[in-house]
C-alpha cells in the first residue's frame, strides 16, 4: 500500500511509523555453529538464500512516520520488485535502465556510483520532484542515475558471532549472499549492486 493519501505524500512507502515497533526476538545459535536462528522460528523468517530477517510488525499508513527509519519488509519488497520507494508503484524504466535518486557522492570514488552496493530502492519519475523538495538529504545534493544492471547480491543487517550462552551482535554491516558469514546475519535490508550507471539531468526528467 502506498502512503500517498488523498493526493499528498504522508511519508515514503519504505519509511517506518511508530505503530510498527521493533520486535525483540531471541536470536539463538544453530546446532553445529551453522549460524543464527530464532528460538521460535517460522518458515517465513528466512529468505530464499536461507538468511534470517528481522521480524517486523507491518501497519502501513498508521501512526506517525519515523523519518530516517526504513521498514525492513517494505524496503525488501520495493528493492526485490523494483518498486518506487516513495509511492510503491513501478520504478521508472527506459532503455537506459531503472531510475535511482541519490545524494551526490561523486567524490567518493572515480566512477561512483558504478559498483555501489545500494540499499535505497529506485523511484518513479512522478516522485522525483517531491523527493527533491521533501527529503533533507537530497535537498543538499542530489543526482538521478539510470542503472542497467542491478543484481541482488546480499543483505545489510546485524552480524553475530558465537557467544558463551547466546550469539553476540558484533556490528551492522553488509554481507554478500556468497559469503558463508551471511548465515550469522539478521538482515534488515536487501542490497543490489549497481552497474552500467549513467547520470540523467533533472531538467530532462522533470520536463519529460
Ligand atoms: Zn513513485
CA angle 151, 12, 194 (to 5 degrees): 20
Domain count, the chain: 1
Please state the pTM of the whole predicted model: 0.92
Task: Compute, in angstroms, the gap from residue 112 CA to the centroid of ligand 1.
Answer: 24
Instruction: For the chain, give the mean pLDDT.
Output: 93
pLDDT tens track for 42-78: 989 999 999 999 999 999 888 899 988 999 999 999 9
Tell me the β-bridge partners of 169. Answer: 160
| pLDDT of 39 over the 70 cut | yes
3-state secondary structure of 54: coil
Strands 8-9 and 4-5 turn out to be: antiparallel
Task: Compute, in angstroms, the gap from residue 12 CA to the centroid of ligand 1.
Answer: 9
pLDDT tens track for 142-201: 999 999 999 999 999 999 999 888 999 999 999 999 999 999 999 999 999 999 999 999
Task: Compute, in angstroms, the gap from residue 78 CA to the centroid of ligand 1.
Answer: 11
CA distances from residue 114 to 46, 76, 138, 185, 198 in whole angstroms, order as listed:
29, 22, 19, 26, 9
Task: Compute, in angstroms, the gap from residue 122 CA to the centroid of ligand 1.
Answer: 9
Note the pLDDT of residue 113: 97
Q: Where are the alpha helices (DSSP H) in the chain?
A: 72-81, 128-134, 136-140, 202-206
Task: Compute, in angstroms, the gap from residue 10 CA to the centroid of ligand 1.
Answer: 13
Task: Compute, in angstroms, the gap from residue 131 CA to the centroid of ligand 1.
Answer: 9
Task: Compute, in angstroms, the gap from residue 13 CA to the centroid of ligand 1.
Answer: 9
Note the pLDDT of residue 8: 55
Task: Compute, in angstroms, the gap from residue 85 CA to the centroid of ligand 1.
Answer: 7
User: What is the domain extent for residue 43?
Assistant: 4-206
Tell me the β-bridge partners of 94. Answer: 97
Amino acid at each position: 500500500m502506498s502512503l500517498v493519501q488523498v493526493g499528498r505524500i504522508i511519508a515514503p512507502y519504505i519509511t517506518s511509523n511508530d505503530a510498527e515497533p521493533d520486535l525483540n526476538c531471541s536470536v539463538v545459535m544453530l546446532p553445529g555453529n551453522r549460524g543464527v536462528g530464532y528460538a521460535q522460528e517460522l518458515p517465513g523468517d528466512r529468505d530464499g538464500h536461507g538468511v534470517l530477517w528481522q521480524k517486523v510488525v507491518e501497519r502501513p499508513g498508521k501512526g506517525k512516520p519515523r523519518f530516517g527509519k526504513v521498514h525492513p519488509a517494505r524496503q525488501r519488497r520495493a528493492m526485490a520488485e523494483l518498486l518506487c520507494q516513495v509511492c510503491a508503484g513501478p520504478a521508472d524504466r527506459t532503455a537506459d535502465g531503472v531510475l535511482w535518486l541519490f545524494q551526490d557522492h561523486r567524490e567518493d570514488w572515480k566512477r561512483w556510483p558504478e559498483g555501489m552496493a545500494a540499499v535505497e530502492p529506485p523511484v518513479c519519475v512522478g516522485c522525483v520532484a517531491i523527493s527533491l523538495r521533501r527529503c533533507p538529504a537530497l535537498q543538499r545534493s542530489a543526482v538521478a542515475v539510470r542503472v542497467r544492471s542491478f543484481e541482488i547480491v546480499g543483505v545489510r543487517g546485524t552480524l553475530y558471532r558465537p557467544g558463551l550462552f547466546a550469539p553476540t551482535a558484533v556490528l551492522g554491516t553488509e554481507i554478500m549472499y556468497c559469503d558463508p558469514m551471511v548465515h550469522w546475519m539478521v538482515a534488515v535490508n536487501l542490497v543490489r549492486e549497481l552497474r552500467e550507471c549513467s547520470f540523467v539531468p533533472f531538467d530532462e526528467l522533470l520536463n519529460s
